[in-house]
Chains A and B, each alone.
Chain A
Amino acid sequence: MALLDRVSTPRRTPGTPRGDQPGRPRRTRSLMARHERRERRWGAGPGGPGPGAEPQRASRSLLVALLLATASVTTLDLATGDSSPLDPVRGVLADTLGPAQSATTALVRPFTAVGGWFESNGSLREEVAALEAENSALRSELNTSAYDRNRLAEYDGLTSVASDLGYSLVPSRVVGVGPAQSFSSTVTIDAGTDAGVQPDMTVVNNDGLVGRVLSAGRSTATVLLLVDPESTVGARVGDSMEMGFLSGRGVIGDEGRLDLELVDDSSVPARADSVVTWGSDGGAPYLAGIPVGRVTKVYSSLRETAQRAVIDPYVDFGALDLVGVVVPTGTRSDRGVIGADGEIVGGGR
């Protein structure tokens, strides 16, 4: 600055072109020009150099701080496994956001049903015709086989006695669906510990197995669906009693398929064989004999010494609504519990 002041003497008048000044060193002129340029650039910035650079540095350090926070949360959750210190937070969120989800779903349910109104007359007619045909086929089957019917009734009685050995259903509705962007298939149901629902209980609907309860809040619970890649269910092919392991592929919707890995590689399941659960010890997380789906394709690989069958689940996971949670009979619940014989016990609502 001192050098510039000395060189640019007060002799210089503002209007004079620079070339006319004799004896002015070229170097100094360029220095001055650079100085001016720098000043202009600084001055033109929004708010000067201080405010411009400060938020940038602050935002970078904030980014690092938040990244570290994320890493520590992830590590905390990953390393501690089942007894995660984040579980209380999850519980609190389930107790606050769960009821909000229930209320919202109840609010929009009439609107989401609007889609059904726009089904065309033709498709409805076709559906009615198909159903009538199926109905009459079933009825004729029923009429022509009175003997079978009687025997079936006896079996029915037996099974209801057998299944009366301790389980009932808590009815509930799906109020939240986990997005596929999270790459896991979970839903929220509106029954929680108040209704007698505990983690690791079987969840079914009228088509078959839906999944199991992962965690339960007071009024809502999270259910891991069968199609989740993390879900593995012991299953057997109903026609041959061959055992295998059923795992999800994480795809919901029309092609919500499951993979069945059979233990015995010599047995080949037939197409449309039905697959049921083989059950776990004590009925948790999966009860025995719940229908899961039917075989659509069978793959066998020489490298792996097992058969792999593709199972089409009976349950439509894209349109889950009413589900039942299997609870021990006599569970205290805030709503009516459906017993093995279809009778509704208790009920506060």
Chain B
Amino acid sequence: MSALRAVVAAVAVALALVLQVSVFGPLAWEGVVPNLCLLVVVAGALTRGPQFAMVLGFGAGLLLDLAPPADHVAGRWALALLLVGYLVGRVRPESRPTATTVVATVAAASFVGTSVFALSGVVLADPVLGVGETLSVLAVSLVWDVLLTPFVLPPLMALFRRLEPAHAL
């Protein structure tokens, strides 16, 4: 079960990355596309808790850092998504999350993830934009992520919940 879960998670993340880069590339709004990898991590965290989500976030982040169009110092998205996985996993509700909870969680996760990525750029002296432009990117990506939540999160959460062993939760 655990191996199957890992494979499914890896496939979901790879699919999210390819969709994010290739399908949403032409549809980008101000160059910003929905962060599907982040949505996968949030879905994993909401259904399976912090441990699974942290590993998932670390893997997805590394993939974002190293896969083709990326050109920043490796490890920045890994850090951002790892923290997102941890935080969402810690604050997730005990029972099945309601739609409002999910949307609010995604919004917070999107804000935290993109901010951590931007701040890591400042720390590592990678080129960054001005504060105003960074904030506008943050806002647009938050809107994108929330817009895609109803379409992406329910199937992903159902998928992760199905792969769950019976004793947990």
**Residue in B32, B51, B76 whose CB lies within 8 Å of A59:** B51
Interface centre among A66, A101, A181, A228 (most CB of B within 10 A): A181
Residues of A participating in the B interface, judged by any CB pair closer than 8 Å: 46, 55, 58-59, 62-63, 66-67, 69-71, 73-74, 76-78, 84, 86, 89-90, 93-94, 97-98, 100-101, 104-105, 108, 112, 174-188, 214, 217, 220, 222, 224, 228-230, 249-253, 318-319
- B67 near A94 (CB under 8 angstroms)? yes
**Given contacts A184-B72, A251-B31, A251-B133, are A89 and B127 in contact (CB under 8 A)?**
no
Task: Scan residues 116-141 of chain B and give those whose CB is less than 8 A from a CB of chain A.
Answer: 117-118, 121, 124, 126-129, 133-134, 137, 140-141
**Residue on B nearest A227 in the bound complex, by CB:** B31
Pair A182/B117 contact, Cβ less than 8 Å: yes
Cβ of B68 and Cβ of A59 under 8 Å apart? no
In this assembly, does B165 line the interface, its C-beta being within 8 Å of a C-beta of chain A? no
B121 touches A55 (CB 8 A): no
Q: How far is the CA of A186 from the CA of B31 in the complex (A)?
A: 11
Taking CB atoms, residues of chain B closer than 8 Å to A224 are 71
Among all A-B residue pairs, the 8 with the closest Cβ atoms: A177-B25, A74-B75, A180-B31, A252-B31, A178-B69, A229-B127, A176-B21, A73-B75
With an 8 A cutoff between CB atoms, is B60 at the interface? no
B71 touches A214 (CB 8 A): yes
Taking CB atoms, residues of chain A closer than 8 Å to B30 are: 180, 252-253
The reply to whether B78 and A176 contact each other, CB–CB distance below 8 Å, is: no
| B79 CB–A CB distance under 8 Å | yes
| Interface locus among B12-20, B96-104, B147-155, B156-164 | B12-20
Interface residue from B22, B35, B86, B128 paired with A104 (Cβ < 8 Å): B22
Given pairs A59-B51, A177-B31, A214-B71, 16 additional interface contacts (CB within 8 A): A59-B49, A59-B54, A67-B82, A70-B82, A77-B75, A93-B68, A97-B67, A176-B22, A176-B25, A178-B21, A180-B30, A182-B72, A183-B118, A186-B69, A229-B128, A230-B127
Known A89-B66, A177-B28, A220-B68; judge A71-B22 contact (CB<8 A): no
Residue numbers in B under 8 Å from A188 (CB-CB)? 21, 68-69
Of the residues A70, A100, A183, contact of B129 by C-beta under 8 Å: A183
**Among B19, B58, B67, B137: residue with most chain A CB under 10 A:** B67
Q: 17 A–B contact pairs at CB < 8 A?
A: A59-B89, A73-B78, A74-B74, A77-B73, A94-B67, A105-B25, A112-B26, A177-B28, A179-B21, A179-B32, A180-B30, A184-B126, A186-B70, A220-B68, A222-B69, A251-B133, A252-B30
Closest to B33 in A: A179
Residues of A within 8 A of B127 (CB): 183-184, 228-230, 250
- Chain B residues within 8 Å of A70, by CB: 58, 61, 75, 78-79, 82
| B117 in contact with A90 (CB, 8 Å) | no
CB neighbours (8 Å) of B49 from chain A are 55, 59
Are A108 and B23 CB-contacts (below 8 A) given A97-B17, A177-B28, A224-B71? Answer: yes
In the complex, B27 has a CB within 8 A of chain A: yes
What's the nearest-Cβ distance from chain A to residue B56, in Å?
11
